[in-house]
Chains A and B, each alone.
Chain A
Amino acid sequence: DGGITQSPKYLFRKEGQNVTLSCEQNLNHDAMYWYRQDPGQGLRLIYYSQIVNDFQKGDIAEGYSVSREKKESFPLTVTSAQKNPTAFYLCASSPLTGVPDNEQFFGPGTRLTVL
């Protein structure tokens, strides 16, 4: 069964701690994305990657870091520099780069709460 998995589903963090959110896909997709969703708001792009070992900042990259060492994995680290990290985090992937109908496939999300 192909898809995107995110873990954990719920995550609690103390202030000042770094935390890493996992995202894995077995769809053989080239591009992967991280979004942040706050209550009543749309999705804001944090980082995206079109190919292994390369990634670009999105609209709200400050306080976050990513890596793309394998095609199927795109972990997101929320650092202590992120001032307001409590949010719902969504990972997505898309099959090809440079195509007009860039459909994205989403994971189930991780809800991060800072205590």
Chain B
Amino acid sequence: GDSVTQMEGPVTLSEEAFLTINCTYTATGYPSLFWYVQYPGEGLQLLLKATKADDKGSNKGFEATYRKETTSFHLEKGSVQVSDSAVYFCALSDMKTSYDKVIFGPGTSLSVIP
């Protein structure tokens, strides 16, 4: 079935460092891909999304490009801030196999230190 794999955390970076969180997926159809962020003690919020191959999602300085050839959707940010400390979830929605369901990866915890 469909699945999402993320790099294991926790990830610890210094402020202004470059961030990459790897995400790869397995899907039968042509999924939409998402990154969600969860700040401590809160629910998830959508960070960005891409619905077809080669689309780039971007928001708040974060970017991710839908790569069909490598089945990847890596999250990047050029310069992280302390306020970016959170758990990041990669997710997919595949209309062909999981109607109206979103499959989440295990999450990657990010800590940014001053």
Contact = CB atoms under 8 A, between A and B. Distances in A.
B101 A98 contact: no
Contact of A50 (B41, B100, B105): B100
A90 B44 contact: yes
Given A31-B100, A45-B101, A48-B100, A100 B43 contact: no
Q: How large is the interface on B (under 10, 10 to 19, 20 to 34, 35 or more residues)?
A: 20 to 34
B40 to A, nearest CB: 11
Q: How large is the interface on A (under 10, 10 to 19, 20 to 34, 35 or more residues)?
A: 20 to 34
Interface of A: 4, 6, 31, 40-43, 45, 48, 50, 58, 90, 92, 94, 97-109
A102 B32 contact: yes
Interface in B10-68: 32, 34, 41-46, 49, 51
A101 B45 contact: no
Nearest to A49: B100
Given A102-B93, A106-B43, A42 B32 contact: no
Interface of B: 32, 34, 41-46, 49, 51, 89, 93, 95, 99-102, 104-107
A102 B101 CA distance: 8
B42 A101 contact: no
Contacts of A105: 46
A51 B32 CA distance: 22
Chain A's interface: helix, strand, loop or mixed, by majority?
loop
14 contacts: A40-B106, A41-B106, A42-B89, A42-B106, A43-B89, A90-B44, A92-B44, A101-B51, A102-B102, A103-B34, A106-B44, A109-B41, A109-B42, A109-B43
Nearest to A50: B100
